[in-house]
Amino acid sequence: MAAPPGNPGAYFRCASPVWMGVIVLSISYFAWAVFLPSTIPYNNLGPLGYFTKYLVDNHHKLLYNGFWLVWGIHVTEALYSVKLCKTKGIVDSSVQCRWFIQTFFFGIASLSHLLAYKPPSKKQR
């Protein structure tokens, strides 16, 4: 969704549903491997299961730290999205909040839309 006509300060665009699904599934699987690895049916997942089993058995601390690193990156991206909103003239606080929440959960799939947004020049307003 683009900004309402005449209101570039309210620009918001949803992330792609495909990317949203991929990210939710990936982070969910990552959390499953970190926090409940004994419940994963490794043999039923083919190469992904074997690779996950190897990581769980041999590099669990790396998985754990990586999981929290991913969330740290998402927090950083979300905070950056608010700064970027202000820089690009998106002044509506509810829209800034929507960018923050979407970027927190979906990271670069959301932030890429905000990075690509070119606000109208002052002459066009």
Q: Where are the domains of the chain?
A: 16-116
**Residue 15 clears pLDDT 80, i.e. is over it:** yes
Q: Tell me if 28 sits within 8 A of 52, measured CB to CB.
A: no
Q: pTM here?
A: 0.86
Kindly report each contact of residues 76-85 with a partner whose C-beta sits within 8 Å and lies 24 or more positions away, as own/partner.
Answer: 77/103, 77/104, 77/107, 77/108, 77/110, 77/111, 78/103, 78/104, 80/111, 81/110, 81/111, 81/114, 84/111, 84/114, 84/115, 85/114
Give per-residue pLDDT as tens, 76-115: 999 999 999 999 999 999 999 999 999 999 999 999 999 9
What local confidence, expressed as pLDDT, does residue 7 receive?
73
Amino acid at 64: Y
